[in-house]
Amino acid sequence: MDQIVFLDRKTVNANFRAPNFLHKWIDFEITQKSEVVERLQNATIAVTNKVQIRKEEIDQLPNLRMIAVAATGTDCIDVQYCREKGIVVSNVRNYASFSVPEHVFSLILALRRKLIEYNNYTKSQKWQLSDIFCSLDFPIHNLHNSTLGIIGYGVLGKAVEKLALAFGMKVLIAEHKGITTARENRIAFEEVIQNSDIISLHCPLTDETRSLVGKPEFRQMKHNSLLINCGRGGLVDENALVEAIKNGEIAGAGVDVLSNEPPINGNPLLDANLPNLIVTPHIAWASLEAMQVLADQVIDNIEAFIKGIPQNSVN
């Protein structure tokens, strides 16, 4: 009988239906690195969202046959070593194609329309003291006719583009950084950085994309531009981002991801206390609807593996 162990069940607020084969399912709300081997000792299938399963753990888990990642990103798994050991690694795909783009535009609108500043203004009772019917203290901008640069043109990048076009925005799709000849319908990375009013990141975190946007990029951006990162925290040099906002190199940023999560040792973005910097706790993906799609797909992946026809395998 297969034993399925979910290492961090607390990370997904959804219902997981029982797989349609004989099994034993064990949930752990959270799991520390030191607990992984013990908890997976008899597991044939591991389910994890962010708990890392590396070579050192895999070598101690002779029964493990599959890792079902309850996320799209698989950087928490030693995928190459799993391939060598014959362990299937699957992920979930396209589950947040509404949730993430909507969060991107929540951040964009909050920054462009100065929602936080004006909310604080009314809470401070300054409106009651105004000598005109409204407040014009914080200039706001339309999205219509502004330019959105998208870096990372997968499912989420394309979904963000669709919303941008509905707002009447112009959209630039970036070519990979360092590529001199852009593909059809792509624009050189540097041109997107220089010409966008808003830049939205949707790349996976790899050795090539780590610190993709740093001091050189901020110096090239428009002074009235915004950076939105709902991809991975490591895509951005966080210290450089704080300095860029403080120095007026860019107008602000909306960030849903940090380089280390949770930020138990602090983070420069959390310490900055800037009104034009919005940080949310990695929730862009987490609408209730998206999480249920994710949960259903995790079970689909496990059932397909048991049938001998693995799906959404990354290795």
**C-alpha dist (Å) from residue 207 to 177, 189, 211, 212, 235:** 13, 17, 9, 10, 10
Please pick, among 9, 103, 112, 282, the residue that the annotation labels catalytic: 282
How far does Cα 106 stand from its chain's mean position? 14
Please pick, among 103, 112, 232, 249, the residue that the annotation labels catalytic: 232
Neighbours of 145 (CB within 10 A): 11
Please pick, among 35, 38, 208, 261, the residue that the annotation labels catalytic: 261
| Phi and psi at residue 180, to the nearest 5° | -85, -30
End-to-end CA distance of the chain: 25
CA atoms within 13 A on the CB side of 298: 27
Rg from Cα positions in the chain:
22
Q: Tell me if residue 232 is catalytic.
A: yes
> Which residues fall within 8 angstroms of residue 48, CB to CB, at 6 or more apart?
6, 7, 8, 67, 68, 69, 70, 76, 77
Going by their DSSP bridges, the two strands 23-27 and 45-48 should be labelled as unpaired
Task: Please tell me whether residue 299 adopts helix, strand or coil conformation.
Answer: helix
In eight-state DSSP terms, residue 19 is: P
Q: Tell me if residue 65 is catalytic.
A: no
**C-alpha dist (Å) from residue 178 to 4, 188, 245, 268, 272:** 43, 8, 25, 28, 31
Helix (H) or strand (E) holding 88: strand 88-90
Q: Tell me if residue 261 is catalytic.
A: yes
- Tokens, residue 18: 């029982």
CA angle 14, 19, 23 (to 5 degrees): 120
Active site residues: 232, 261, 282
